[in-house]
């Protein structure tokens, strides 16, 4: 991986914060577009680290996987995360 993991994670958080006025959850492909030169597996590892650090949440409907900032969006309120 050519990216510095910490700066890449910061870029992911910044991306989510900038878009949070319109969206609280993002598709995996939204994040792969941030790092077009990286393998999707490496991007997935970064997202997994952010979830483990509790900076982001993982959400799945069974067919769709999405990620969002911890405590953002309607889902957080309905699950008592706030």
Q: pLDDT tens across 52-82, in order?
A: 999 999 999 889 889 999 887 665 445 444 4
**pLDDT for position 81:** 45
Name the residue ranges covered by the structural domains of the chain.
7-69
Sign of the Cα torsion 66, 72, 75, 81 reads positive
- pTM equals 0.82
| CATH 3.90.1510.10 corresponds to the domain 7-69 | no
Sheet holding 56-60, edge to edge: 25-27, 65-69, 56-60
Give percent of the chain above pLDDT 70. Answer: 85
What's the pLDDT band for 2 if we cut at 50, 70, 90? low
């Amino acid at each position: 991986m050519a990216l510095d993991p910490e700066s890449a994670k910061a870029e992911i958080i910044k991306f989510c914060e900038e878009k949070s006025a319109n969206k609280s959850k993002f598709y995996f492909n939204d994040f792969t577009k941030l790092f077009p030169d990286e393998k999707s597996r490496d991007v997935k590892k970064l997202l997994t680290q952010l979830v483990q650090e509790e900076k982001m949440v993982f959400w799945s409907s069974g067919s769709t996987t999405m990620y969002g900032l911890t405590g953002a969006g309607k889902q957080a309120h309905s699950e008592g995360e706030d």
